[in-house]
Amino acid sequence: MSIATAPTSSSEPSNSANQTEQTKLTGMGAIPHENGVAFRVWAPHADRVSVIGDFNDWSGDRHSMENEGNGYWYGNVEGAAVGQGYKFQITNGDQTFDRIDPYAREVTNSIGKGIVHDTSYDWEGDDFQMPNHNEIVIYEMHIGTFHRSDEDQPGSFEDTIKRLPHLKQLGVNVLQIMPVAEFAGDLSWGYNPAHIFAVESAYGGPVALKDFVKQAHAHGFAVVMDVVYNHFGPSDLDLWRFDGWSENDKGGIYFYNDHRSSTPWGETRPDYGRGEVRQFIYDNAKMWLEDFHVDGLRYDMTAYIRTISGIGDDDISEGWGLMQWINRDLAEQFPNCLLVAEDLQKNNWLTKPHDHGGAGFSTQWDAAFVHPIREAVQQIDDAHRDMWAVRDALCHRYNDDAMQRVIYSESHDEVANGKSRVPSEIDPENPESAHAQKRSVLAAALALTAPGIPMLFQGQELLEDDWFDDTDPIDWDRAEQFKGIKQLFRDLIRLRLNREGTTRGLLGQHIHVHHVNEGDKVIAFVRSGHEDPEGDVVVLANFANRSWDGYEVGFPAAGHWKLRFNSDWKGYSEAFADKDVDDVVAEETHRDGLPATANLSFGPYAVLVFSRS
């Protein structure tokens, strides 16, 4: 057990610099040791703090805590043990109230009590390494709806483990988990965290999450955890006026108490300028990687961390600095971690390194891809599909690095909040129609063949319809009903990751959109790596409801080009046209600025992928 006088653990200067001379255990919250449990809490406006729990019959008179100075209170309870419930009883003037520990690693529920938790775990054999960024395919998932063993209860980590073979067969290799910090109730998307250090009890709690991560690693999956630092709560929030103090009818010590408190989710934006709050968020980010062995973080809506309005120039410099500090230290301590920003403002500075003034994220969700691609495939009339907008979406990048963007046609945000799954947007009356199937696949195929880090949303490979709802789990009967669509996604992912050694151009940075036919709604592009012409891949996408024979397209070189993928194949769906398509021989005739030309046949809304034989 480490011994020190400082309650903090980071390299950033704390507002609580003066410490008591007495040697104490380091850390915050409940700190188990061989003779009992030590406790530390930050409550700068408290007149008195006691720890209450199963170990003292919940009596506030038994274990008063010592004021260490600078707002920290410390106490040691001999004989207290892991698994026991506890809270802090705080007195401020004539008020006395109980609070759940902000650093509680386990709670009974969002309005229950903290549980003394032993963070140790047997990680033997867990030596997983994150793939290179150009070799990643992300699968965004929600534990409560991904798989349920009991239709009346939300899914759990244990339930999700049972479906890992499905994901292994699909071919994705990074699981991005929607937030699992303890939230109000048992049903939620997770973006209303009540206790950011505790793992949702309805999902199984902290040990079950560690079991899930270890099993995911054993199956070959990295795990990226979604975290919410742009606001807390707003419900079931013991952080609210935690020690009884507040200003302007606001939230107290953990929150801004002026106009900066306001977010679309309530008046609960953390005070990024207060050292103890910065430490609280820093410690939480580090916990996921250090204690739970996750391989990265996805920050929810960073625009509301770095600005007040989320869209304006009303910057919160303290929020920007906090992200820089966390990302810098995580990248140094966990060099292969993936740090993802959801900002959606097309801001290059998010993915610039911190020593150049950037926020230091690895990559960011790319609004410049998802919105024009969805717009193109969801148009009712072919004539309204904008091929130049599609071209711009394919080519967009940040800081001249394509892997600094995550590209997708479905995410939890894009299939809810007034929007639906792509098949339902295309054909609300019949989302299993031929048009709905083909055009939703068209959008997904572009995400899996364009440069960037591709991402799928859970159930996309099963042609899930309607909208995302935390009460509506995935219908796994669709795995058989749409096994062809699942095979289509599997084939695309294998090509994207060059599993057969024939499509290494799809791993490259480069794209050359050489053919844009706005009139006939056909686009073609070449994907390649650095100085690797033998690895070139040609992709053609037809955005119109018509077939073609003898359609001329430029190719990078003359010779035989093998058809690797045809989305119109009837083996994927009986609704597809199954236009006769084959390998092609490109002739030495210049076209589209390239040295060779091939004559192609393809079906309605088809995507073709060619590479050299």
Tens of pLDDT, residue by residue over 492-534, are 999 999 999 999 999 999 999 999 999 999 999 999 997 788 9
CATH number of 95's domain: 2.60.40.10
- At which of 88, 116, 144 does a domain end? 116
- Write down the pTM of the prediction: 0.95
SS3 for 121? coil
Has residue 265 got a pLDDT over 90?
A: yes
- Domain assignment of residue 70, yes or no: yes
The per-residue pLDDT for 62 is 97
The per-residue pLDDT for 546 is 97
Count Cβ atoms below 10 Å from residue 259 Cβ, excluding itself. Answer: 11
7-26 tens-digit pLDDT: 544 445 333 333 333 479 99
Helix axes 434-449, 387-395, angle to 10 degrees: 40
Catalytic residue among 106, 342, 410, 470: 342
Reading the block at residue 67, the tokens are 């004021």
- Domain assignment of residue 465, yes or no: no
Kindly give, in sequence order, each residue whose CB lies less than 8 Å from that of residue 156, ignoring residues fewer than 6 positions away. 143, 149, 202, 203, 204, 208
SS3 for 276? helix
User: Is residue 457 a contact partner of residue 138, using CB atoms and an 8 Å limit?
Assistant: no
H or E element in which residue 3 lies: strand 3-4
445, exposed or middle or buried, with CB in 10 Å at 0-12, 13-18, 19+? buried
- Domain assignment of residue 17, yes or no: no
CA distance 65 to 153: 40
CATH number of 576's domain: 2.60.40.1180
Catalytic residue among 106, 226, 271, 300: 300
- Domain assignment of residue 221, yes or no: no
Measured CA to CA in angstroms, residue 438 lies from 78, 82, 566 at distances of 66, 55, 11
526-567 tens-digit pLDDT: 999 977 889 999 999 999 999 999 999 999 999 999 999 999
Question: Closest by alpha carbon to 294, among 174, 160, 116?
Answer: 174
The per-residue pLDDT for 450 is 98
- Count of domains for the chain: 2
Measured in Å, how far apart are the chain's first and last C-alpha atoms? 61
* Domain membership of residue 586 as a residue range: 504-612
> Catalytic annotation on 247?
no
- At which of 76, 94, 116 does a domain end? 116
Count Cβ atoms below 10 Å from residue 512 Cβ, excluding itself. Answer: 18
- Domain assignment of residue 166, yes or no: no
The per-residue pLDDT for 3 is 32
- At which of 116, 140, 164 does a domain end? 116
Reading the block at residue 394, the tokens are 């394919």
Paired with 370 in beta bridges are none
The per-residue pLDDT for 22 is 46
310-322 tens-digit pLDDT: 998 999 999 999 9
Question: Closest by alpha carbon to 422, among 406, 441, 440, 437?
Answer: 440
> Catalytic annotation on 68?
no
- Domain assignment of residue 541, yes or no: yes
- Domain assignment of residue 40, yes or no: yes
SS3 for 65? coil
223-243 tens-digit pLDDT: 999 999 999 999 999 999 999
Q: Look at strands 181-183 and 193-199 and give their pairing.
A: antiparallel
Kindly give, in sequence order, each residue whose CB lies less than 8 Å from that of residue 251, ignoring residues fewer than 6 positions away. 239, 240, 241, 257, 261, 267, 268
The per-residue pLDDT for 228 is 98
Confidence of residue 613 (pLDDT cuts 50, 70, 90): confident
- Domain assignment of residue 475, yes or no: no
Q: What is the chain's length?
A: 613
